[in-house]
Amino acid sequence: MINRLLALWPHPAMLRTLTIRYAVLGVLQGGMLLGLIPLLQALLQSPPDLNLAARWTGIIAVLGVAYLGALWWAKSLGYRIAHLIMRDLQHGLGRHLLTLPLGWFVGDRAGRTARTVAQSTPSAASIVSHVWPELVQSIATPLTVVAGVFLIDWRMGLAFLVTLPAAMVILRWSAPIVRETQVVMDDASSEAAGRAIEFAQAQPVLRATGRAQEGFAPMERALDQQRVAFRAALNRHTMPQIAYIAVVQVGFTIVLVSGALLALAGELSLAETIALLVLAARFVEPLAQVGNLFGTIRVAEVAIDRVAEVLDAAPLPEPAQPKPSGDSTVEFDNVTFGYGGRPVLNDFGIRVPAGTMTALVGPSGSGKTTVLRLICRFWDVNGGSVRVGGVDVRELTTDSLMSQLAIVFQDTYLFDGTLAENLRLAAPDATDDELADAAAASRLDEVVARMPDGWDTRVGEGGLSLSGGERQRVAIARALLKEAPIVLLDEATAALDPENDAAVTAGLTALTSRGRTVVVIAHRLTTIEQADQIVVIDGGRTAEVGSHDELMARGATYARFYRERLTAASWQVGGR
């Protein structure tokens, strides 16, 4: 456990110091327990030696005061180290996340990473604030007691000692069982938590379809799996727990029987026997605590592994000798790419001239979104190259590449802040006038005017207080404010109301009219028609390239696609 922690937080000297302090604490506690033997001997002899009892009471009191001082001495260091570990791990995670390719965050990685930062780092830090210190103390105390009992009577010392190796064997046997079941329970809990959030977010849909009362099958399955995992874990934990408790109790019984036999044989006085039996009762307490701590250790180890999983993720390679890019031309040269062995793009090639607008069209799953993500370097291609300004994106630094891109994806994320704060993410130093200009061009100013607090209106987590069309207006305004030479836009597939549709069209026109290079996944006919170039993607390949008029004249894939969209757009309820 400690070695795993040190692999993430390499400060062994501080942990050695902490271990020594808690070992001293355990020795002092063991010394207080051993002091009970001469104290009880003095009180139980006939006649009682009150002076001797008073001296031993004083010694125990001094040890008690020293114990309290050492407790503060040890805990203050433990809490300080725990704070440093949590701070360093969280900062380290934050720095490392910035180096990972954007594609790493696709899927459920974002939620798992949030849980790692919020929950696993405190669990890892608790190792030095609670788990490891208590383990060291719980081992040092029995060892001190055993050493002291050996000095009084070696036979009783052996009776005390026999419990320790047996207990360690049980703990080593149970460790992989506890660890394995903890991983299963942790995965089941993550899945259940994710499904519960999904259930809450899906309430409008479930209620609109009249299925809210019937439950949510994915969440119910996840909860069932969680219950099964917990029940299996409890069943697997039971035998090791019973075995450990049995070993401790058998050891206590051996001490009792040994003491009784020695007393009956006249080898021990009544006072020594009673004192040793009292000591035996206190001796098993830290041993029982060790058993509890080993379960907690396995939980903490899983937390460490979660942190290590993120920190071990390979960062996006940065060029050793980065090159400056030229203009805002975007090119795909025989690009081949796939996810997990599944091909998505095959020998894909296009050229988007600087200052022009290219619309990507094609069926769902054809690779349109992948094209935009490869321009952003979510991943590196398997073959061929993606170039921006004539330079392979792998030869540009991440900062250099991202400074040239403004991204407007469908799932526009807004932070739980004000409208102004969300816009200024694109340009923190933007003036109020620049903010107003971007808002006017994207018609976001109309939304601002309707808001009770104007620019200071909070949009809620994820921008929930805004409609989908309004959130896309914010995203377009961000792109305008950033003034990046290349804009990547994934239009919303859902139909927008006329007002938002007109606003998005105006924003798109503003983006293209300012000389930017625009690559858009187009779903709206107005967007497709105004594009300088249309690229039809089918099966991960370039099916057709040309202007709207050229492709319509060919009467091939694009013409069929356009007519289908035109028919769908003109469809009305009742067939009118």
Domain spans of the chain, in order of start:
2-311
Q: Three-class SS of residue 19?
A: helix
pLDDT of 569 reads 62
Identify whether the C-beta of residue 386 lies closer than 8 Å to the C-beta of residue 332. Answer: yes
pLDDT of 519 reads 92
pTM for the predicted model, two decimal places:
0.70
Residue 575 pLDDT exceeds 50: no
pLDDT single digits (tens) 459-517: 887 777 887 778 888 888 888 888 889 989 887 544 556 666 677 677 777 776 777 89
pLDDT of 138 reads 83
Share of the chain above pLDDT 70, in %: 90
SS3 annotation, 213-232: HHCCHHHHHHHHHHHHHHHH
Q: Which long-range contacts (CB under 8 A, 24 or more apart) does 421-424 make?
A: 422/459, 422/463, 422/474, 422/478, 423/474, 423/477, 423/478, 423/481, 424/481
Which range, of 60-64, 453-457, 511-515, averages the lowest pLDDT?
511-515
Compute the mean pLDDT over every residue in the chain, rounded to the nearest whole number: 82
Q: Name the more confident of 424 and 233.
A: 424
Q: Name the more confident of 384 and 292.
A: 384
> Which residues on neighbouring strands pair with residue 339, listed in sequence order?
342
pLDDT band at 212 (very low <50, low <70, confident <90, very high): low
Residue of 385, 395, 389 whose CA lies nearest to 334: 385
- Rounded alpha-carbon distances, angstroms, from residue 293 to 185, 238, 433, 538: 18, 15, 61, 58
pLDDT of 576 reads 44
pLDDT of 573 reads 39
pLDDT of 500 reads 66
Residue 299 pLDDT exceeds 60: yes
Q: Which two tokens stand for residue 254?
A: 């051996």
Residue 295 pLDDT exceeds 80: no
Identify whether the C-beta of residue 293 lies closer than 8 Å to the C-beta of residue 134. Answer: yes
Q: Report how far residue 438's alpha carbon sits from residue 507's, in angstroms, rounded to the nearest whole number.
A: 9
pLDDT (average), residues 56-85: 92
pLDDT band at 567 (very low <50, low <70, confident <90, very high): confident
User: 2-311 maps to which CATH number?
Assistant: 1.20.1560.10
Q: Report how far residue 421's alpha carbon sits from residue 458's, in angstroms, rounded to the nearest whole number.
A: 9
Q: Which two tokens stand for residue 373?
A: 């993500």
Please, is 124 exposed, middle or buried when counting C-beta atoms within 10 Å of its C-beta (0-12, 13-18, 19+)?
buried
pLDDT (average), residues 37-60: 87
Q: Report how far residue 344's alpha carbon sits from residue 540's, in angstroms, rounded to the nearest whole number.
A: 5
Q: Report how far residue 299's alpha carbon sits from residue 271's, in angstroms, rounded to the nearest whole number.
A: 44
pLDDT of 206 reads 63
Full DSSP string of 112-127 = HHHHIIIIIHHHHHHI
pLDDT single digits (tens) 354-394: 988 999 998 888 888 899 999 999 889 999 999 999 999 99
Q: Which two tokens stand for residue 548?
A: 């709207």
Question: Phi and psi dihedrals of 522, rounded to 5?
Answer: -95, 130
Start-end of H helices in 331-376: 368-375
